[in-house]
Amino acid sequence: MADNTKPKVDWELLALTDQYYTAVAIREALREGDVDGATEGLEELIDALSRSDERALESHLIRLMQHIIKWKVQPERRSPSWVATIREQRRQIQRLQSRSPRFTDRYIQDTLWDDCYAGGRNEAAAEMNREHIEAVPLSWDEVFELPYTLEPKPEDL
């Protein structure tokens, strides 16, 4: 007599390695009437997608902070590409916040700020060929509101 039982799906591994095939496997589980398996797969897929968005948010915030730290530490080296990077990272963060309402300003401040600041300092130091950078305070306003431009300010004229 043949064994018709299908091997149990490792939903966690599948969701971590390929989100598209996880969705396909969930659809197949539903077609086969395996509601419990499909539910487990859906939960793992949701978790994986959530972690992916959070990693993207962290990455954009680190890069944003990195360039603002460099802006403050090396004013003589400011460039149009730094301005563009700051604008683009802000845009990407706003995009993620609009797609994932849980990424509130409070969430960023309370959950991500300190780790991303440390990452931004490390990245800035590496890019400037330094072992480390002394603490450069960054306010919310400097990171998200202050305009960065190469145009001379009135007080500089």
Q: State residue 52's pLDDT score.
A: 85
Residue 55, domain member (yes or no) = yes
Q: Distance between CA 142 and CA 157 in Å, rounded? A: 22
Counting the structural domains of the chain, the total is 1
Residue 3 lies in a domain: no
Range of the domain at 145: 11-149
Q: Cα separation of 136 and 66, whole Å?
A: 11
Cβ atoms 75, 142 nearer than 8 A:
no
What's the pLDDT score for residue 5?
67
* pLDDT at position 50: 78
Is 157 part of a structural domain of the chain? no
Local confidence pLDDT in tens for the 157 residues of the chain: 445 567 788 888 888 788 888 889 999 999 999 999 989 988 888 888 878 899 999 999 999 999 999 999 999 999 999 999 999 999 999 999 999 999 999 999 999 999 999 999 999 999 999 988 888 999 999 999 999 999 765 555 5
Contact 68, 49 (CB under 8 A): no
